[in-house]
Amino acid sequence: MSPDLLHPDYFTAGVAEADPEIAAAIGDELARQREVVELIASENIVSRAVLEVQGSVLTNKTVEGYPGARYHGGAVNVDVVERLAIARAGALFGCRFANVQPHSGSQANQAVFQALLRPGDAVLGMALTAGGHLSHGASFNISGRHFAASHYGVRRQDGRIDYDALARQARETRPKLIVAGGSSYPPAIDFFRFREIADSVGAYLLVDMAHFAGLVAGGAHPSPFPHAHVVTTTTYKSLRGARGGLILTDDEALIRRLDRAIFPGVQGSPALHAMAAKAVCLGEALKPEFRAYAAQVLANARALAATLLDAGTDVVSGGTDTPIVLIDLRRQGLKGDAASDALERAGITCNKNAVPFDTEKPAVTSGLRFGSSAATTRGFGAAEFRFVGAKIAQVLDGLARDPEANGACEAAVFAEIRELTARFPIYQGV
Ligand SMILES: *Cc1c(COP(=O)(O)O)cnc(C)c1O
């Protein structure tokens, strides 16, 4: 082999040797993840096995199509992987069919739109401003540009969906597809009622369970089956695995359309390393300890919500049935961007988030969104979540009193957070 073609260590050197700049950034990121309390609801901490599989030689393989019907040779091993992932997804969520190829939750939803609708058809999804997701028909998203999207909101008094108003809106807008699920909607969704409304206008029902899929898998949340025609999810939030998405259904005619919508409709070749990592995390979620994890994710989110409520914080919808806790900062006169920056300086990572009827811009917002999945994975119980809730209240109170003078409070809280996280180590020996 020509030494000019490949570095002599190409097949053997790790990233520390081969690319020290990127290695340093990754090392710093591991240190950050070890040190802070991670409350971003879209994150989790995957197992060593999932990490390993996402870095495996499967990244070299390209196929198109589905097991047994590929367009490329050499697919025998990845067919094993894909069949296992499909079987595990079905077993875990109690449905007959799964597509495990979506690169992300957004692309899973895009494929459902492609499979069930024609361009210009009417869809009804939750408004972004009420907690919905971009891919549910937002005007600037492909789902809102190619389809005639209407949006439902939540009630002003309790931040919950008004199902009677939703039924009226469905009769008025005659959607072909109704989407249930959101990115910052803490209460449980009444899937039965959604299906009734969908049936009353002859619409399909899609449930996007991206945030609470891990709770459904672990028996800590009602299942969208048998109510939904199609269910989509991400695999990296409460489900605690690979980056990517899933499409699930019980309907044999629909899975054929959904498969064709993913490939060749909206994607080319699947990311096989991520698909294998999905299989691994689905396997983990089928084990008994995942039920304990799911129950603890919910208990911890509720402990956080209760602590914040007790401290006088405005918790949207009064609590949670999911990993998500959403707080409204307007009562304290705070903005989401400044509040999340202050918490980050105190070692608590979360995200600014619009609250229902927010009048601030998306880059500012009047709220914060927290999620309990990642810190639960590292071993936090309700006591740790109550402690963290008290620290959040302390930092936000200080910020509301005097933003200029809050530095000492933030630094003192970070010291306490470091002591806490040191007691719950992650990835020892990595
Ligand atoms: C996170 C999320 C998605 C998908 O996200 P990607 O970033 O595309 O993986 C889809 N729907 C909902 C409701 C979500 O919360």
Q: What is the DSSP string of 172-208?
A: HH--SEEEE--SS--SPP-HHHHHHHHHHHT-EEEEE
Q: Which positions ≥6 away from 146 have C-beta within 8 Å?
A: 113, 119, 120
The closest-lying atom of ligand 1 relative to the alpha carbon of residue 109 is 10
Whether the predicted pLDDT of 18 surpasses 70: yes
Of residues 166, 151, 228, the one with CA closest to residue 197: 166
Q: Please give the angle made by the CA atoms of 123, 237 and 416, to the nearest 5 degrees.
A: 135
Percent of the chain with pLDDT over 70: 99
**d(CA 6, ligand 1 centre) in Å:** 39
In this prediction, residue 4 carries a pLDDT of 80
Is the pLDDT score of 113 beyond 70? yes
The CATH architecture to which 289-422 belongs is: Alpha-Beta Complex (3.90)
Residue 234: closest CA among 296, 182, 162, 158? 182
Between the CA of 236 and the centroid of ligand 1 the distance, in Å, is 10
Stretch 68-93: mean pLDDT, rounded?
97
Q: What is the mean pLDDT of residues 174-187?
A: 98
Structure confidence by residue, pLDDT tens digits, 319-372: 999 999 999 999 999 999 999 999 999 999 999 999 999 999 999 999 999 999
Residue nearest to atom 15 of ligand 1 (CA): 183
Distance CA(159)–CA(182), nearest Å, equals: 13
The residue among 99, 146, 152 whose CA lies nearest residue 124 is 152
Average pLDDT for residues 95-124, to the nearest whole number? Answer: 98
Q: How far apart are CA 262 and CA 75, in angstroms?
A: 19
pLDDT band at 249 (very low <50, low <70, confident <90, very high): very high
Sorted by where each begins, the domain ranges of the chain are 57-285, 289-422
Closest CA to 347 of 51, 92, 32, 134: 32
Instruction: Return the structure tokens found at 36.
Output: 């802070």
Ligand 1, CB within 6 Å, residue ranges: 42, 104-106, 133, 135, 181-183, 208, 210-211, 234, 245
Instruction: With beta carbons less than 8 A apart as the criterion, state whether 358 and 314 touch.
Output: no
Q: In angstroms, what CA-CA distances link 324 with 302, 315, 392? A: 9, 11, 15
Nearest atom, ligand 1, residue 244 CA:
9
Q: Mean per-residue pLDDT for 135-159?
A: 96
Per-residue pLDDT band for 1 (boundaries 50, 70, 90) equals low
Residue-wise pLDDT for 127-146, tens only, equals 999 999 999 999 999 999 99
Instruction: Please state which CATH class domain 57-285 belongs to.
Output: alpha beta
Ligand 1 atom nearest the C-alpha of 209 is 13
Residue closest via CA to ligand 1's atom 1 equals: 210
On average, the pLDDT of the chain sits at 97
Torsion of CA 129, 135, 136, 138, to 10 degrees: 50
- C-alpha 426/C-alpha 11 separation (Å) is 29
- Rounded mean pLDDT of 246-267? 98
Does residue 403 surpass a pLDDT of 60? yes
Average pLDDT (63-88) is 97
